[in-house]
């Protein structure tokens, strides 16, 4: 019997360390969340911490042993799985205690939840209600999913010789997940990686068993229908099923930003909704052929395929509209959870910065050494640390973890663009170019702006748990989305969930724009900045890019106007206000230079 999914929201991956142990805190309450698999060193420290906390045996996994990265990840995920399951078993027997986790589980469900309604109905006949059996048959844990950023697939060396591809960081992370006890999804983000996708094919766990069940599932984070179809078909040809397509706003999100060519979230979700059955049927036909060719169990009907979305949602009305209008299986709430210390790891200083953050403090920056736009918070302690290095004339960081050493620009081992060694070489190269004045300073600033985020995004987990940061230092990077400007108070988990479901409203400001409008303004600003940064005269390719970008934004505006006119929107913003905003930004778009 399939159990009812408890919640219509999930907590996406938050940085590297912010949500690294979130499942331990929320999975037993039916809430799904995602762990980053970037930092095996951090996972090893937390495994030791939690083992001591719960009096569990711990044996360190040294970097000197073969395949240590994958083994560390497996060990950590198994610990998280055990702790979450133990808490869930305790919850199931705590129904007689009025303030127990069982009652917290039930209380946090949406009022319209089938599960909650069933419980209330059966509770009315308490004398004949076998609550133990009902709990066993109906309550389920939240999923403990993992995230692999496909760009972070660094090659590794042993005894000064390059190791086989399977020891690359991304490959090892995948193997660590596969070898764990988890029965959940790997969320693949940052674009398609044929090499990593091909590696998925080598694991039995990603294929249907005799009962057509998947022990390990695949979730693809995509930006539009075309990307979903291309990647879904690529994997289907290998006999691999995509169990979830997770659509994320290109710019109205946290973490790394992957801007589309002006495709806005609403039109993207509409296209995916319209083509959902076609996406499933096309991939299923390829899936069947591949499974039969491999002599594997082949279902007659497509396996479950979820469509979820995230990026900028901030009110119960937005959540409900996304869920109902686009037929989403879940909506991701990321940035607001950074203000819920009960759920994520945020140190006090960073928490204060987040509470006080306004629109101008939340910027899309170029600090990421991956060369991808990165959502950043002004004044974070990692950036302050970076500035101190620059002032001492020793820009860059020592690069203690080397997860982003991907540049082969110079001879020798690959380097990270935020490392001291790389920046020293680039500055020497710049000095030899004989540039002077503003031209020199502009190129110098571009070199030294890169920050060591693969360390900074995990450090908060150490600070919160009072663990040493000798290797990492105390600087913290944080990557909230623009939505953070409208959340200003520390919240409990209960308060956050009540806000999501409309029981309370934690947003004090009255000027928060609708998420669709906010994303539109961010895209217009992004396009304007791109135009300003591009030297005149524009090439034919540049002109074509800007024209296409502008046209796509224009189509998005027209889509929203039709949506507002034809659909009953259950949102606080009046239709007239939304229409006026769209008219205003349509004029802004038209007034951008055409050149």
Within this chain, do residues 391 and 462 fall inside the same structural domain, yes or no?
Answer: yes
Give the residue among 30, 4, 3 at the shortest CA–CA distance from 103. 30
Phi-psi region of 262 (alpha: psi -120 to 50; beta: other; left: phi over 0): left
Within this chain, do residues 386 and 439 fall inside the same structural domain, yes or no?
Answer: yes
pTM equals 0.96
- Report if residue 574 sits inside a domain: yes
Within this chain, do residues 392 and 447 fall inside the same structural domain, yes or no?
Answer: yes
Q: Which of 457, 477, 497 is the last residue of a domain?
A: 477
Q: In this model, does residue 474 exceed pLDDT 70?
A: yes
Q: How would you class 361 by CB atoms within 10 Å of its CB: exposed for 0-12, middle for 13-18, buried for 19 or more?
A: middle
- Reported as type and span, the H/E element at residue 286 is helix 276-293
CA distances to 113, 146, 502 from 316, in Å: 15, 26, 5
Report the pLDDT value the prediction gives residue 250, as an integer from 0 to 100. Answer: 94
Within this chain, do residues 444 and 522 fall inside the same structural domain, yes or no?
Answer: no
Within this chain, do residues 538 and 463 fall inside the same structural domain, yes or no?
Answer: no
- Report if residue 126 sits inside a domain: no
| Rounded CA separation 386/452 (Å) | 8
Q: How would you class 46 by CB atoms within 10 Å of its CB: exposed for 0-12, middle for 13-18, buried for 19 or more?
A: buried
- Report if residue 81 sits inside a domain: no
Q: In this model, does residue 165 exceed pLDDT 90?
A: yes
Give the residue among 375, 319, 350 at the shortest CA–CA distance from 490. 350
Q: In this model, does residue 583 exceed pLDDT 80?
A: yes
Report the pLDDT value the prediction gives residue 567, as an integer from 0 to 100. Answer: 78
- Report if residue 100 sits inside a domain: no
Within this chain, do residues 471 and 552 fall inside the same structural domain, yes or no?
Answer: no
Report the pLDDT value the prediction gives residue 314, as an integer from 0 to 100. Answer: 98
Confidence of residue 571 (pLDDT cuts 50, 70, 90): low
User: Between these two residues, 148 and 129, which has the higher pLDDT value?
Assistant: 148
CB 24 within 8 A of CB 53: no
Confidence of residue 391 (pLDDT cuts 50, 70, 90): very high
- Report if residue 390 sits inside a domain: yes
CB neighbours (10 Å) of residue 539?
Answer: 10
Beta bridge partners of 310: 248, 332
CB 145 within 8 A of CB 185: yes
Within this chain, do residues 410 and 464 fall inside the same structural domain, yes or no?
Answer: yes
- Predicted confidence (pLDDT) per residue in 176-232, tens digit: 999 999 999 999 999 999 999 999 999 999 999 999 999 999 999 999 999 999 999
- Average pLDDT, stretch 314-318? 97
CA distances to 6, 93, 95, 136 from 132, in Å: 18, 8, 9, 6
User: Between these two residues, 329 and 3, which has the higher pLDDT value?
Assistant: 329
CA distances to 72, 335, 486, 509, 581 from 358, in Å: 39, 14, 8, 11, 21
Within this chain, do residues 470 and 548 fall inside the same structural domain, yes or no?
Answer: no
CB 546 within 8 A of CB 524: no
- Predicted confidence (pLDDT) per residue in 283-311, tens digit: 999 999 999 999 999 999 999 999 999 99
CA distances to 159, 272, 447 from 424, in Å: 26, 47, 9
- Average pLDDT, stretch 76-101? 94
CB 381 within 8 A of CB 453: no
Residue 489 sits at φ, ψ, to 5 deg, of -130, 145
- Predicted confidence (pLDDT) per residue in 28-68, tens digit: 999 999 999 999 999 999 999 999 999 999 999 999 999 99
Q: Which of 432, 462, 477 is the last residue of a domain?
A: 477
Within this chain, do residues 464 and 527 fall inside the same structural domain, yes or no?
Answer: no
Residue 550 contacts by C-beta under 8 Å, 6 or more apart in sequence?
262, 527, 589, 592
Q: In this model, does residue 234 exceed pLDDT 60?
A: yes
Residue 445 sits at φ, ψ, to 5 deg, of -60, -35
The range of the structural domain enclosing residue 450 comes to 381-477
State in Å, rounded, how far the first CA of the chain is from the last one: 62
Residue 88 contacts by C-beta under 8 Å, 6 or more apart in sequence?
27, 28, 139, 141
Report the pLDDT value the prediction gives residue 569, as an integer from 0 to 100. Answer: 59
The per-residue pLDDT of the chain, averaged, comes to: 95
- Report if residue 5 sits inside a domain: no
Within this chain, do residues 397 and 473 fall inside the same structural domain, yes or no?
Answer: yes
Within this chain, do residues 520 and 441 fall inside the same structural domain, yes or no?
Answer: no
Q: Note the residue count of the chain.
A: 595
Report the pLDDT value the prediction gives residue 124, as an integer from 0 to 100. Answer: 77
E strands, 55-159, are 144-149, 157-158
Domain count, the chain: 2
- Average pLDDT, stretch 324-340? 98
- Report if residue 208 sits inside a domain: no
pLDDT > 90: percent of the chain? 91
Report the pLDDT value the prediction gives residue 241, as an integer from 0 to 100. Answer: 98
Q: Which long-range contacts (CB under 8 A, 24 or more apart) does 352-357 make?
A: 353/377, 353/379, 353/380, 353/478, 354/478, 354/480, 354/484, 355/488, 355/489, 355/490, 356/488, 357/480, 357/484, 357/485
- Report if residue 577 sits inside a domain: yes
Q: In this model, does residue 127 exceed pLDDT 80?
A: no
- Average pLDDT, stretch 157-177? 95
Report the pLDDT value the prediction gives residue 595, as an integer from 0 to 100. Answer: 63
Confidence of residue 317 (pLDDT cuts 50, 70, 90): very high
Report the pLDDT value the prediction gives residue 384, as an integer from 0 to 100. Answer: 96
Q: In this model, does residue 381 exceed pLDDT 90?
A: yes
- Average pLDDT, stretch 553-580? 84
Report the pLDDT value the prediction gives residue 570, as an integer from 0 to 100. Answer: 54
């Amino acid at each position: 019997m399939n159990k009812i999914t408890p919640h219509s929201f999930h907590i996406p991956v938050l940085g590297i360390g912010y949500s690294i142990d979130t499942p331990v805190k929320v999975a037993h309450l039916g809430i799904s969340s995602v762990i980053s698999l970037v930092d095996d060193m951090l996972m090893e420290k937390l495994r030791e911490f939690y083992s001591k906390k719960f009096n569990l045996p711990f044996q360190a996994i040294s970097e000197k042993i073969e395949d240590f990265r994958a083994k560390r990840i497996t060990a950590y995920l198994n610990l998280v799985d055990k702790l979450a399951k133990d808490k869930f078993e305790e919850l199931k027997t705590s129904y007689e205690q009025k303030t127990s986790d069982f009652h917290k589980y039930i209380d946090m469900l949406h009022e319209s939840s089938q599960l909650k309604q069933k419980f209330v109905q059966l509770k009315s006949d308490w004398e004949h209600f076998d609550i133990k059996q009902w709990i066993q048959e109906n309550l389920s844990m939240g999923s403990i999913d993992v995230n692999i950023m496909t760009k972070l697939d660094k090659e590794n060396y042993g005894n000064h010789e390059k190791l086989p591809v399977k020891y690359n960081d991304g490959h090892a992370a995948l193997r660590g997940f596969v070898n764990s006890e988890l029965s959940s999804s790997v969320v693949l983000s940052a674009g398609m990686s044929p090499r990593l996708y091909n590696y998925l094919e080598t694991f039995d766990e990603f294929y249907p068993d005799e009962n057509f069940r998947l022990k390990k599932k695949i979730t693809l984070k995509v930006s539009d229908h075309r990307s979903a179809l291309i990647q879904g078909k690529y994997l289907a040809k290998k006999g691999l099923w995509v169990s979830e397509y997770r659509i994320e706003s290109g710019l109205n999100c946290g973490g790394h930003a992957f801007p589309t060519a002006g495709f806005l979230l609403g039109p993207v979700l509409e296209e995916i909704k319209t083509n959902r059955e076609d996406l499933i049927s096309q991939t299923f036909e390829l899936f069947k052929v591949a499974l039969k060719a491999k002599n594997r169990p082949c279902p007659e009907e497509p396996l479950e395929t979820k469509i979820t979305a995230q990026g900028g949602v901030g009110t119960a009305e937005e959540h409900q509209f996304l869920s109902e209008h686009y037929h989403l299986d879940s909506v991701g709430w990321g940035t607001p959870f950074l203000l819920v210390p009960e759920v994520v790891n945020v140190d006090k200083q960073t928490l204060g910065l987040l509470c006080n953050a306004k629109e101008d403090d939340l910027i899309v920056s170029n600090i990421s050494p991956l060369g991808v736009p990165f959502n950043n918070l002004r004044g974070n302690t990692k950036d302050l640390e970076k500035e101190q290095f620059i002032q001492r004339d020793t820009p860059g960081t020592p690069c203690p973890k080397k997860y982003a050493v991907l540049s082969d620009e110079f001879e020798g081992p690959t380097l990270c663009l935020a490392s001291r060694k790389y920046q020293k070489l680039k500055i020497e190269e710049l000095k030899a170019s004989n540039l002077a004045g503003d031209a020199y300073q502009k190129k110098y600033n571009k070199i030294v702006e890169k920050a060591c985020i693969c360390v900074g995004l995990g450090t908060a987990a150490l600070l919160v748990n009072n663990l040493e940061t000798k290797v990492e230092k105390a600087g913290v990077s944080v990557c909230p989305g623009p939505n953070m400007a409208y959340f200003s108070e520390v919240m409990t988990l209960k308060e956050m969930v009540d806000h999501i479901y409309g029981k309370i409203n934690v947003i004090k400001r009255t000027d928060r724009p609708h998420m669709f409008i906010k994303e539109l303004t961010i895209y217009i600003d992004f396009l304007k900045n791109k135009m300003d940064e591009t030297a005149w005269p524009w090439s034919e390719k540049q002109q074509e890019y800007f024209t296409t970008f502008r046209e796509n934004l224009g189509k998005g505006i027209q889509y929203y106007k039709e949506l507002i006119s034809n659909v009953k929107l259950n949102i606080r913003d009046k239709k007239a206000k939304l229409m006026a905003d769209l008219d205003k930004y349509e004029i802004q778009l038209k007034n951008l230079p055409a050149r």
